A = this chain, B = another copy of it.
Amino acid sequence: MTAPLHEAHPAGPGRALPDTQQGMRRRNLARVMHAVSAQGPLSRAAVASRIGLTRAAVSTLVDELIRSGLLEELGPERPGRRVGRPGSALAVSGHGPAGIGAEVGVDHLAVCAVDLRGEVRARAVRYGANRGRPPEPVIEELAGLVRRVVAEAERAGLWPAGLAVAVPGLVARDARTVVRAPNLDWHDTDLGALLPVEYPLTVGNEANFGALAELWLGDGTPRDFLHVSAEIGIGAAVVVDGALLRGTRGFAGELGHVPVRPDGPKCPCGGRGCLEQYAGEEAVLRAAGLEPGEDRVGLLAGRAAEGDEDVRGALHDAGTALGIALTGAVNLLDPESVVLGGALAGLAPWLLPSLEAELDRRTAGPACPVAVSRLGSEGPLLGAAHSVVRAVLDDPAAVAERA
């Protein structure tokens, strides 16, 4: 549901850059960065053999990346690892550009800085309900956290290559405008105007950033999967061949409003019997006879763990509804797996049995496997920061020009 930085930097290794000598150079710079990032430290010779270019060509590219501060030399290799004449091992720089990720949650704000190596180098969180607050003060507070995190990152020798903001709502394809965030009560809010920064800004749906985090940081996540998460609403994101399916307006992934029981209760979206009416946090709390408070998932997980039969029953029914909606989604998309992330990850022990039973009995062949994210509610924030880092790896030349 977002246009992540990949659109602002239209590269991706070997993708959209123009088919010219200059474009080829930029794509090859990206290949070197990706090789060192994925498999480094590597000697120049090892990079050359991995990406299929001559050593001389790779040396020119590497020199350029070292000059712009994206790669660094670790000094001569240890003798034991030497192949051919002694070479210096290359690593992705821990002092160059950093990706700044931010999250506007219903109950918190968070910001972090991630370096090109993927390490979180600075972080700030502020708890407090944002529901019903107008965008201006919320974004002002977020901007304060961003300034703090950027200052800390700068003290560590990093500089911000971009800021990506995850929001719980639909974001237009301009990657700036929050079209609708029902759980914040924001409509047509241009975050670009509210959050002026001197580096590229991308606004995206939190479920999408959560899915990207799973793709990039998850353990053995396939390149085709459906990511289902929840804060108050149900969010989902579709990843196809390692890329987000975003939809014409940027709204793809609205699993929460898939009709589960077409004559069921009315939903604020205008429909009836939508998944959110059965498996949204508030619906589950209601079904369990609990009041919605601040730590809704914690409350549900705690009670379920204690053996509260009402809570367990409510989660069982939510799992059934998720299974029905996912049957439709799996039939349409044929993903390699379904990943439960965000708040749903914490509730998985009580959702999964009925969810999987439902998927199973409605599927002719072997049912699609359901995995549980280990990133949980950290996903959207990490996905946002890493989307900036990936954009740098995908088109290092663009960043070098700004360095």
Binds B, one of A82-90, A134-142, A322-330: A322-330
Task: Give bound CA distance, A245 to B254, whole Å.
Answer: 18
Contact of A259 among B238, B255, B362, B364 (CB under 8 A): B362
Whose C-beta in chain B lies nearest to the C-beta of A245? B240
Contact of A245 among B27, B253, B333, B361 (CB under 8 A): B333
Task: Give bound CA distance, A197 to B364, whole Å.
Answer: 33
Whose C-beta in chain B lies nearest to the C-beta of A249? B334
B-side contacts of A272, CB under 8 Å: 362
Q: A303 on the interface (CB 8 Å rule)?
A: no
Q: A59 on the interface (CB 8 Å rule)?
A: no
Q: When each residue 236-268 of chain A gets 1 if its CB lies under 8 Å from chain B and 0 otherwise, what string results?
A: 101010000111111111110111111000000
Interface size class of A (residues with CB under 8 A): 35 or more
- Contact between chains at A331 and B254 (CB < 8 Å): yes
Residue with the greatest number of chain B CB neighbours at <10 A, chosen from A24, A252, A258: A258
- Contact between chains at A362 and B271 (CB < 8 Å): yes
Contact of A327 among B271, B331, B333 (CB under 8 A): B271
Q: A193 on the interface (CB 8 Å rule)?
A: no
Task: Give bound CA distance, A250 to B325, whole Å.
Answer: 21
Q: A293 on the interface (CB 8 Å rule)?
A: no
Say whether, besides A28-B19, A248-B222, A270-B362, A332 and B333 are in contact (CB < 8 Å).
yes
Task: Give bound CA distance, A26 to B17, whole Å.
Answer: 17
Contact of A331 among B245, B258, B362 (CB under 8 A): B258
What are 9 sample pairs from A and B whose C-beta atoms fall under 8 A apart? Answer: A238-B333, A245-B245, A246-B334, A254-B331, A257-B364, A258-B327, A270-B361, A270-B362, A271-B327
Residues of A within 8 A of B (CB): 14, 19, 24, 27-28, 180, 222, 224, 236, 238, 240, 245-255, 257-262, 269-272, 324-325, 327-329, 331-336, 361-364
| Closest A-B pairs by Cβ, 4 of them | A247-B334, A271-B362, A258-B328, A254-B331
Q: Can you add 12 more A-B contacts, CB < 8 Å, to A250-B334, A252-B332, A254-B332?
A: A224-B248, A238-B333, A247-B333, A252-B333, A253-B332, A254-B331, A257-B331, A257-B364, A258-B331, A259-B324, A259-B328, A325-B328
